């Protein structure tokens, strides 16, 4: 199978998504000095990551031929996540007494984190136990396991799987009274047990639709790329995405009032923005050309580690009162710079070597097929 051409703009943009998550967690630790707009960025960026993940996998793996390819795919995707997860778990254990205590008193949480299943119980505490952002990689692992089914038999079974997953999530939320009122939906509840918030955000089946949208956007992008006007379409789509993001409140206000309409309306609008942006950056055009710049590409390559390490850095700095006297912009830049430096080291010393090792292992397997290990 011929390898698809790389999409460098979608690599570069990952760093922007990661910094959006950093901004939200920075605002959580520094609410009095952070800008109000930083708070919602993290949840938006995670949705965009899920869409991008579905897109990239569908682009790189349009078909998995037989059990051998599926097995290699599953192993390679687990190995894409595990080394950084292991490093951040070790760092959390070394840096924080609470992590050591949790690992010793409740080893099941550690086992779940090591197997990347820590969000599957819909417990907020379990999902975020050792490193808050790591809840989303448990979702990614779930999506990777479902992915071969989503591409196996066309769009009808894929749509059915996604719909069933969403119906189950909505049914579970209904069974605990999530739709009774705004207060019921937003109630903190028990962080050790499923709540309305944890089912909606931290239970993988409830977010599968975003990943599936990425697969659908990939199919649409293939059609757009064949158009002779693709280079003109790209900047128009980027402008549309930026405008919709900027005016998201006004767009939602056009519809009926009410908490649930507004809450899910904003979610849907921002998912639409992410789909439009990812579709645009997958096409040839001036924006993609501008993002095809080696420093930006490297920033995109280390973005996973930035996503996984920044919270540990924020937590450590807060525990030791580091930089609390600095102006917010300066402190935020320092957090981003330190996270990027640490992440560059992890990428060069751990992520890249671990991927090369797995590729070498696959190359030595008997009966090797043409299945590719995409990273």
**What is the model's pLDDT at position 4?**
83
- More confident of the two residues 164 and 39: 164
Report the Cα–Cα distance between both ends of the chain, in Å, rounded: 17
Whole-angstrom distance, CA of residue 83 vs CA of residue 230 = 38
pLDDT above 90 (res 102): yes
With bands split at pLDDT 50, 70 and 90, how would you rate the model's confidence at 366? low
**CB-count burial class (<10 Å; 0-12, 13-18, 19+) for 175:** exposed
pLDDT above 60 (res 373): no
- More confident of the two residues 191 and 73: 73
Query: Distance from CA of residue 62 to its chain's centroid?
Result: 21
Q: Report domain extents, the chain.
A: 8-151+203-242+279-363
Q: At what angle do helices 66-95 and 303-319 cross, to 10 degrees?
A: 20
Which residues lie below 8 Å from residue 366, measured CB to CB, with a gap of 6+?
none
What tokens were used for 353? Answer: 């070597």
Whole-angstrom distance, CA of residue 16 vs CA of residue 200 = 24
- More confident of the two residues 130 and 65: 130
pLDDT above 80 (res 370): no
Phi, psi of 199 (to 5 degrees): -65, -45
Comparing CA positions, the residue from 322, 319, 365 lying closest to residue 68 is 365
Work out the average pLDDT over 191-210: 93
**What is the model's pLDDT at position 375?**
43
**What is the model's pLDDT at position 66?**
82
When mean pLDDT is compared across 41-55, 92-106, 284-298, 353-367, the lowest value belongs to: 353-367
When the pLDDT of each residue in the chain is averaged and rounded to a whole number, the result is: 93
99 in Cβ contact with 93 (< 8 Å): yes
pLDDT above 90 (res 65): no
Whole-angstrom distance, CA of residue 212 vs CA of residue 276 = 15
Whole-angstrom distance, CA of residue 221 vs CA of residue 14 = 18
Q: How many CA atoms lie within 13 A of 107 on its CB side?
A: 1
Work out the average pLDDT over 245-258: 93
Whole-angstrom distance, CA of residue 122 vs CA of residue 144 = 18
pLDDT tens digits, one per residue of 105-164: 999 999 999 999 999 999 999 999 999 999 999 999 999 999 999 998 889 999 999 999
**What is the model's pLDDT at position 367?**
55
Comparing CA positions, the residue from 64, 85, 198, 86 lying closest to residue 144 is 64
With bands split at pLDDT 50, 70 and 90, how would you rate the model's confidence at 167? very high
């Amino acid at each position: 199978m011929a390898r698809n051409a790389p999409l460098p703009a979608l690599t570069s943009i990952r760093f922007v998504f990661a910094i959006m998550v950093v901004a939200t967690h920075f605002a959580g630790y520094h609410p009095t000095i952070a800008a109000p707009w930083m708070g919602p960025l993290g949840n938006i960026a995670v949705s965009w990551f899920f869409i991008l993940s579905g897109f990239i996998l569908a682009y790189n793996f349009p078909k998995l031929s037989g059990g051998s390819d599926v097995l290699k795919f599953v192993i390679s995707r687990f190995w894409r996540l595990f080394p950084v997860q292991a490093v951040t778990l070790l760092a959390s254990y070394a840096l924080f007494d609470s992590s050591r205590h949790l690992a010793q008193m409740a080893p099941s949480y550690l086992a779940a984190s090591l197997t990347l299943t820590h969000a599957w119980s819909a417990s907020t505490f379990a999902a975020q136990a050792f490193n808050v952002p790591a809840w989303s990689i448990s979702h990614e692992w779930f999506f990777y396991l479902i992915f071969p089914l989503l591409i196996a038999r066309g769009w009808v079974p894929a749509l059915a799987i996604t719909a069933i997953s969403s119906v189950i999530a909505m049914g579970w939320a209904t069974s605990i009274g999530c739709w009774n009122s705004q207060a019921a939906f937003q109630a903190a509840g028990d962080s050790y047990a499923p709540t309305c918030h944890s089912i909606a955000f931290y239970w993988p089946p409830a977010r599968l639709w975003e990943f599936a949208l990425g697969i659908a956007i990939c199919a649409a992008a293939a059609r757009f790329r064949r158009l002779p006007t693709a280079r003109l379409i790209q900047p128009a789509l980027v402008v549309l995405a930026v405008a919709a993001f900027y005016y998201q409140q006004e767009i939602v206000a056009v519809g009926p009032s009410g908490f649930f309409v507004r809450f899910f309306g904003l979610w849907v609008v921002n998912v639409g923005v992410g789909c439009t942006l990812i579709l645009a950056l997958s096409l040839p055009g001036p924006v993609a050309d501008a993002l095809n710049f080696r420093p930006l590409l490297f920033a995109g390559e280390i973005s996973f580690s930035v996503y996984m390490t920044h919270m540990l850095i924020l937590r450590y700095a807060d525990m030791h009162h580091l930089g609390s006297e600095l102006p917010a912009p300066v402190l935020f830049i320092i957090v981003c710079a330190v996270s990027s430096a640490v992440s560059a080291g992890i990428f060069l010393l751990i992520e890249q070597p671990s991927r090369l090792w797995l590729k070498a292992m696959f190359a030595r397997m008997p009966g090797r097929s043409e299945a590719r290990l995409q990273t």
